[in-house]
Amino acid sequence: MSVFTHPEFDNHEHISFHRDPETGLSAIIAVHNTSRGPALGGCRMFPYPDENAALTDVLRLAKGMTYKSALANLDLGGGKSVIIGDPREQKTEALLEAMGRFVERLGGLYIAAEDSGTGVPDLKVMGRHTSHVAGVSPGLGFDGKPSTGDPSPATAYGTFKGIQAAVQHRLGRNDPADLEGLSVAVQGIGNVGYRLARHLKEAGAKLWVYDIHQDRMDQALAELDATPATAEDILFLPVDVVAPCAMGAVLNNESIPRLRAPIIAGAANNQLGNASHDHALWKQGILYAPDFVINAGGIIDIHYERIGAEPSVVREHLDGIGQTLAEIFTRSAQGNLPTGEIANQLAEERFNLKTKTGHHSRRTS
């Protein structure tokens, strides 16, 4: 399949493929839009079934980062990279060093950060061969506590603030900080999902959880008093909120009719199978918190790490995620349009404006 006719291709500025037989690296970097600044996005490692599945994921993820940065009012563009392989079995220092050399070849057009399957130590290894990595500098996090640079805590906190906004709008709770008795199903309890679940538990919510890794399940059951769910039922429980925090495309033609929660609000990227599913959720009366809005905490955190901002500045910006979602929910209700469509309009206004005013040059290849 040609890249240019791929269903997920949307005027991406740059796409690079790289294979290094010596280390086993097979990777793709996609840059969607750099009108607001250099493309910053995570480096994901996942055992995709084939190259086309990896290409689909990286194209969607890169576009999502453009929209995410625009709605977060950051001077960054959207990009992403994927490494094809099992991070628990196939990740080696040599492979990561090869990935660093791959990133370096783009000359700063793309800046890599942590993502599913990679972490701060991995980015530091990549950083031996490129300066274009982010989220690796120790310091103080948004909460004033020591941080390794890992953006996961900020992503989880921002998602938590987004859930508060969704609960206030959809369920009419006057105090968004009070989640006592709220029932939430969290799909995926990795670095972000577990931290989100902990925030929810501390706010009084009741949790149902599922993860493909049993050690993560054991931790959540022991430490968060969560109820275990299965892969087959986690999205379809009769709870107040379903929080997808694993892989994308979980909201599709098969799953949406079976949903029983009035709110979908989680940290996973690209939760919709395709754009039409935004309308399907809205038509079914489900309040959807657009993923590229609610999970922007990580990119916000990395942005401020790069410029050396104080923790209070970062936290204030993270708190604004809930305010942005509240605006989207209100405009959706007033305009009788799906929330994702409203969010797309707002984002496109912001990065198209940058393009027209020429704040940043665009590079194509």
Q: Which residues are identified as catalytic?
A: 80
What are residue 222's phi and psi, to 5 degrees? -80, -40
Indicate the SS3 state at residue 30: strand
Dihedrals phi, psi of 227, to nearest 5 degrees: -100, 130
- 115 φ/ψ sector (left φ>0, alpha ψ -120 to 50, else beta): beta
In eight-state DSSP terms, residue 24 is T
**Around Cβ 279, how many Cβ atoms within 10 Å?**
14
Per residue in 109-125, is it b (16+ CB within 10 Å) or e — as a string?
bbbbbbbbbbbbebbeb
Q: Is 24 left (phi over 0), alpha (psi -120 to 50) or beta?
A: left
Our measurement of the distance from residue 328's CA atom to the centroid of its chain's CA atoms, rounded to an integer in Å, reads: 18
- What stretch of H or E contains 80? strand 77-84
